[in-house]
Amino acid sequence: MARVVERASPRQLALEILYAIEVEGAYADVALRQRLRHSRLSRRDRAFVTECVYGVVRWRERLDWLLSQVCRYPLCELTPWIRNALRLGVYQCLWLRVPAWAAVHETVALARRYGHRGTAQLVNGVLRALLRQHASWAFPDAATQPVAHLAVVYSYPTWLVARWLERYGWERTRALCEANNRVEGVTLRVNTLRTSPQALAQRLCQEGLRQVAPSALLPEGLVVRGTDRLDTLPSYREGLFQVQDEGAMLVAHACQVRPGQRVLDACAAPGGKTTHLAQLMEDTGWILACDPQWGRLRLVQHNVERLRLRRVALCVADARRPPLAPGALFDRILVDAPCSGLGVVRRHPDIKWRRTPADLAALSALQLELLHAQVPLLAPAGLLIYSVCSNEPEETWAVVSRFLAAHPELHLQPLATAALPPAVRPALREGVLDLTPEVCGTEGVFVACFGRQG
């Protein structure tokens, strides 16, 4: 990837990040954070770059469909630089309402920089033709081509739309696609051991945030808008909050922990659920947080120390082979397992282009292996909680069914409805939480709980 010059323009920086995502496999959030950290862009330009990168990634299928109507070459035959420059130009014109002359001029300049005179002429012609004609085009027909219609209109891979349509039907699939494309602020989990939601909201306003509102679901949640640098706020450094989606917060509530218990968080990094469990336990008892990579476990350590929690211990360990002494038992074991992440495409839209159906089977095998390894560590009256940020059957109900078949000494323990907000209770099925984003605007999450028979 070409090195970003110190004074790269916002559009140049956006294009280089898009190239890194498509060609080098970079994660959108990581690439943005790393490149913006070393830029000298203003807050407004940083916001523009962020919007362009996430927007192009989120709407890639629809952008490519629009471009295919006027480009005389298949997009796959263009270089990644030119393909993404075209997407970037169209996104600015049709989504951000940037004046056409400005967007076309800047995109042609990028095509010349990362291509040559001929590609600059191609980009100029394609963009001008698209802007003249796009209002007259009809998307694939919903009645005769439902998969193609939803894939183009809402910008999703066809394989994912097809499986959702089969499982959920037309209306729910359309609502799910729409919800996953709607981002409405960042959710914070208030560290109630050190402050209150009301006090933190007031503090955030004093620190310059203009839009702070209470969560509609959880009493410890706040929703903020209008900033991309929460980690620079004094209140963040003082440990008064953790950035965490409401769906992820539900997992700790579903664990039904109590002060004084022994808890194992088998797949702890980056520590959002670990620290939430400690908060719900009033920082008493003992939590062992494990992860196989020290680099990732350091994120847990950072959050534990920042939030000033005392009862969390860290262990570099692969949860498939827990390095614990015989007889070490836990009242609660949380397996927040590695998964496809297809429940969090709302905030991480690049996931939908990374995953394939084959990934689901491979991840399902890993998830089962992780669950099997925890059974000997579960206290007689303890609970084993399984969660993933996915709602795909291979990672959810199939895992539950296969796990129970292998462990007749365990049963499915219905989640306590009192532990969950009323708005999400309709997503309970057989005592298992299977919450998709269109229900109440959270990320997708699946939580099942197992206990010993008798």
Instruction: Decide: helix, strand or coil at residue 450.
Output: strand
- Determine which one of 71, 177, 389, 449 is catalytic: 389
Q: Please report the pLDDT score of residue 38 as a whole number.
A: 83
In the numeric block, which tokens belong to residue 39?
Answer: 């830029």
Please report the sign of the dihedral spanned by the C-alpha atoms of residue 19, residue 24, residue 25, residue 27: negative
The domain at 186-243 falls in which architecture?
2-Layer Sandwich (3.30)
58: CB partners within 8 A, 6+ apart: 155, 181, 349
DSSP code of residue 140: P
For residue 290, the surrounding DSSP H or E stretch is: strand 286-291
Q: Which CATH superfamily is domain 10-136 in?
A: NusB-like (1.10.940.10)
Q: Which two tokens stand for residue 42?
A: 């203003």
Angle at 34 between CA 64 and CA 181, to 5 degrees: 40
C-alpha span between 436 and 160 (Å, rounded): 14
Please report the pLDDT score of residue 1 as a whole number.
45
Distances (CA, A) of 309 to 36, 230, 285, 304: 31, 20, 12, 5
Distance in angstroms (rounded) separating the CA atoms of residues 75 and 68: 7
Task: Please write down the HEC assignment for all residues of 218-275.
Answer: CCCEEEEECCCCHHHCHHHHCCCEEECCHHHHHHHHHCCCCCCCEEEECCCCCCHHHH
Q: How many alpha carbons lie under 13 Å from residue 91 in its C-beta half-sphere?
A: 28
| Exposed/middle/buried for residue 219 (C-beta within 10 Å: 0-12, 13-18, 19+) | exposed
Contact 444, 247 (CB under 8 A): yes
389 is catalytic: yes
Q: Do 313 and 288 touch, CB atoms closer than 8 A?
A: yes
Q: What is the C-alpha separation between 291 and 338, in angstroms, rounded?
A: 11
In this predicted structure, what is the pLDDT of residue 424? 94
Which are the contacts of 42, defined by CB distance < 8 A and separation ≥ 6? none
- pLDDT of 454: 65
- Cα–Cα distance measured from residue 85 to residue 26, given in angstroms and rounded to the nearest whole number: 18
- What is the pLDDT, as a whole number, of residue 227? 74
Answer yes or no: are the C-beta atoms of 235 and 196 closer than 8 Å: no
What pLDDT shows up at residue 323?
Answer: 74
Coil/strand/helix, residue 43: helix
Q: Is 70 helix (H, G, I), strand (E, B) or coil?
A: coil
Helix (H, G, I), strand (E, B) or coil at 411: strand
Per-residue pLDDT of the chain (454 residues; tens, 9 = 90+): 444 444 689 999 999 999 999 999 999 999 999 999 888 898 899 999 999 999 999 999 999 999 999 999 999 999 999 999 999 999 999 999 899 999 999 999 999 999 999 999 999 999 999 999 999 999 999 999 999 999 999 999 999 999 999 999 999 999 999 999 998 889 999 999 999 999 999 999 999 998 999 999 999 999 998 776 798 899 999 999 999 999 999 999 999 999 999 999 999 999 999 999 999 999 999 999 999 999 999 999 999 999 999 999 999 999 999 877 667 899 999 999 999 999 999 999 999 999 999 999 999 999 999 999 999 999 999 999 999 999 999 999 999 999 999 999 999 999 988 889 999 999 999 999 999 999 999 999 999 999 998 6
The pLDDT, as a whole number, for residue 156 is: 98
pLDDT of amino acid 43: 86
pLDDT at 4: 42
What CA–CA distance (Å, rounded) separates 437 from 444?
Answer: 5
The domain defined by 246-452 carries CATH number 3.30.830.10: no
> Domain ranges in the chain?
10-136, 146-180, 186-243, 246-452
